[in-house]
Structure 1
Amino acid sequence: MMSPLLGVLGGMGPAATADFLAKLAAHTPATRDQEHIATIVYSDPTTPDRSDAILADGEDPLPAMFRGIAFLDEAGCDLIAIPCNTAHHWYDDLAAATTVPVVHIVDAVAAQVERDAPDATTLGLMATDGTVRSGIYEKVLAQSGKRVIDLTDLGPDNPVMAGIRAVKAGSLDGARDILSNAARELLGRGADGIIYGCTDVSAVLGLPPDGIDAPAWDAAEALAIACVNRIRG
């Protein structure tokens, strides 16, 4: 019998997709290749920028994402993961386009936060400006009485966006330094912990960031663990 098949709608960006797959393998209980999760990856890095679509009337990424969802659906996937936080602005549209369950990345993170730090009141979000504008983290975390803060008030000087752009450009060491400093700034603003709400951030920062003594949660890791739990029951 074929094992349950995980579909990954990726390419947003490529490094983030590769990092998600590594975390999926790392969190799968397995002693040999045959015990890992069967996975099909649809990776389309030409998908229009999600933040531009939310913030600046940029090209709509939904048609490209719909093509990926259709591909994974037709391939017979039993579960779909989207390792891009900003893409979850369109979660309802994407989930409605298939009968296959789609794991919600923010729900996965929120479950970890509630488990690890139920008394935390303020969380620093490291995410694209589009994700922040969409309010997807704020809405979910508010249900457990948690407030979300970010650095979007810094505008073009926002170090989170600078770090994300550095990841996409392949400057990983530079991105790591920029994003670690962004985490420190969020803690300085009163955050009780940090959420890596962009899978490009997840691709370069460990848990917690180097030199930082505060809890942190990685959306890519949370999504990977949620997928393992759903598929392995």
Structure 2
Amino acid sequence: MMSPLLGVLGGMGPAATADFLAKLAAHTPATRDQDHIASIVYSDPATPDRSDAILADGEDPLPAMFRGIAFLDEAGCDLLAIPCNTAHHWYDDLAAATTVPVVHIVDAVVAQIEREAPDVTTIGLMATDGTVRSGIYQKVLSQSGRTAIDLTDLGPDNPVMAGIRAVKAGSLDGAHAILTNAIRELVARGAQGIVYGCTDVSAVLDIPPEGVEINAWDAADALAIACVKRLRG
């Protein structure tokens, strides 16, 4: 009997996809290679920028993502994961394009917060400007009685976006320093907990964040945990 097959719609960006796969392996109860979850990754880094599409009428990324969904569907996957927060702006369209269940990354994060820190009500959101504008986190957090704060009011000086750009450029040490400072700014604004709501942020920051005492949740980590639970029970 074949093991359940996880399909990963990746490449947004490549480092984030690799980080998600590492976290999937880390959260899978296994004592040998054969115990791990079988997966197929469709990675297309040429997928148009999701934030540009949301914020500035950039090229629509949906056709590229639809191609990936179709590939994974035809491959016989039993569950799909998309380790890109901003791509979930199009979650309804993507989920409707397949009969295979698609794990929602924001639902996974908020479920983890509920389990681990139900009294935390103000969340500092570290996400792309596109994710913040889309409102996907604000909607689900509000439904659970929580509010989100962010740094988008800083415009071009937003350290979260500067850190994300550094990750995409391969400057991981520089990104770590920039994003750690962003956490400090969110804490100063009243955040009781931090969500790494961009998988590029997840690729460089630890849980808990180095040098800052605060609860933090990693969207890529939460997605990996949710996938393991769905496929392994």
Tell me the secondary structure at the aligned position of residue 200 of structure 2: helix
Aligned partner letter, 1:20: F
* CA distance in structure 1 between the partners assigned to 2:66 and 2:22 by the alignment: 25
User: Bigger shift: 108-117 or 9-18?
Assistant: 108-117
CA distance in 2, matches of 1:208, 1:131: 22
Instruction: Tell me how far apart the structure 2 counterparts of residues 23 and 190 of structure 1 sit (CA, whole Å).
Output: 29
Distance 2:68 2:45 in 1: 11
- Residue 90 of structure 1: how far off its partner (Å): 0.1
**Matching of residue 57 in structure 1 with residue 57 in structure 2:** yes
| Residues in 2 aligned to 1:220 and 1:88: alpha-carbon distance in whole angstroms | 13
Structure 2 counterpart SS, 1:80:
strand
- Separation (CA, whole Å) in 2 of partners of 1:38 and 1:120: 35
TM-score normalized with structure 2 length: 1.00
Indicate the residue corresponding to 2:97 in structure 1.
97
Pairwise CA RMSD of aligned residues? 0.4
Instruction: Give 1:208 shift.
Output: 1.5
Counterpart in the other structure of 2:72 = 72
Distance, in Å, in 2 between the alignment partners of 1:120 and 1:170 is 33
* Cα distance in structure 1, aligned partners of 2:145 and 2:26: 32
Deviation sequence 1:172-226 (CA, Å, 0-9, x none): 0000000000001000000001000000000000002110100000000000000
**2:23 maps to 1:23:** yes
CA apart distance, 1:120: 1.2
Give 2:219's aligned residue: 219
Give the residue type in structure 1 aligned to 2:169: A
Displacement of 1:3 after TM fit? 0.3
In structure 2, C-alpha distance between the alignment counterparts of 1:203 and 1:120, rounded to whole Å: 24
> How far apart are the structure 1 equivalents of 2:226 and 2:60?
28
- Counterpart of 1:180 in structure 2 is 180
The TM-score normalised by the length of structure 1 is: 1.00
Superposed, 1:158-177 pairs within 5 Å as 158-177=158-177
Are 1:199 and 2:208 an aligned pair? no
Q: Which runs of 5+ in 1 are unaligned?
A: none
Q: Percent identity?
A: 86
Residue 125 of structure 1: how far off its partner (Å): 0.1
SS at match of 1:204: coil
Residue of structure 2 equivalent to 1:13: 13
Map residues 15-164 of structure 1 onto 2, 5 A cutoff: 15-164=15-164
What is the distance in 2 between the residues matched to 1:144 and 1:89?
A: 19
Would you identify which runs of 4 or more consecutive aligned residues in structure 1 move more than 6 Å? none
CA distance in structure 2 between the partners assigned to 1:114 and 1:35 by the alignment? 29
Shift, 1:121, TM fit: 1.6
Deviation at 1:34, TM superposition (A): 0.4
Supply the AA of the counterpart residue of 2:120: A
Alpha-carbon distance in 2 for matches of 1:105, 1:180: 23
What amino acid is the match of 1:34?
Answer: Q
Query: For the residues of structure 2 that align with 1:144 and 1:76, how far apart are their CA atoms?
Result: 34
Letter in 2 for 1:116: E
The separation in 1 between residues aligned to 2:18 and 2:119, in whole angstroms, is 33
